[in-house]
A = this chain, B = another copy of it.
Amino acid sequence: MNVEKIRAFMQGKGGMSNNDFDYSMSYFKELQLKKKQHFLFAGEICKQIAYVNRGCLRHYFINPKGEEHIIYFAFEDWWVGDLSSFFSHTPTVYNLQALEDCELLTISSADFTRLCEERPKFNELYNAKTRNAYTSYIDKLRNEKAESPEEKYLKLLEKSPLVLQRIPLIYIASYLGIKPESLSRLRKRLAAK
């Protein structure tokens, strides 16, 4: 597996030395997922988190009425997993499914804890990542509260142009919280503008 992307993440943004990077990578395992395979199912304990080296996944949950809601799509250079379950060792309510064939680099919670202790740079990097994710979720919540599906759709295209190229419309509709028919109408309306 080519590790140049995770190297850029750790050594570029994270300022890790070659030595720290090589040491950190010794804790990661390669995992190949076929399209439609799951990395995580609701009810399981999230025993590993993963760096997405190639491919994309959807992070979703199923509400008590049996409806699926997508929280995010993860592409290359994202981290996936449920941190709450990962650190507390309690079952997750989320599912993570590959939407394309994926190459992941995974790390178990015991190894993650060990690596954070042994290489403070890795700990620092991951904490900065978590802080960014935290503030981006407050923003997502804000959008969810304040925006119409059309506004959400336009923002999604602007922020994640990859979504339209790589994600089936049925999942984009689920992310927006609307029926696929409504998304088709919305897209026709926007195209006519």
Contacts and interface: CB of A to CB of B under 8 A. Distances in A.
Contacts of A63: 146-147
A130 B141 contact: no
Max chain B CB contacts within 10 Å: which of A69, A145, A146, A177? A145
Contacts of A140: 137, 141
A141 B144 contact: yes
Categorize the interface residue count of chain A.
20 to 34
Dominant secondary structure at the A interface:
helix
Contact of A137 (B61, B87, B138): B138
25 contacts: A61-B142, A61-B146, A63-B146, A67-B146, A69-B142, A69-B145, A71-B138, A71-B141, A71-B145, A82-B135, A83-B131, A83-B134, A84-B135, A84-B138, A84-B139, A87-B131, A93-B142, A94-B138, A127-B127, A127-B131, A130-B131, A134-B134, A141-B141, A144-B144, A145-B177
Interface of A: 61, 63, 67, 69, 71, 82-84, 87, 93-94, 127, 130-131, 133-135, 137-142, 144-147, 177
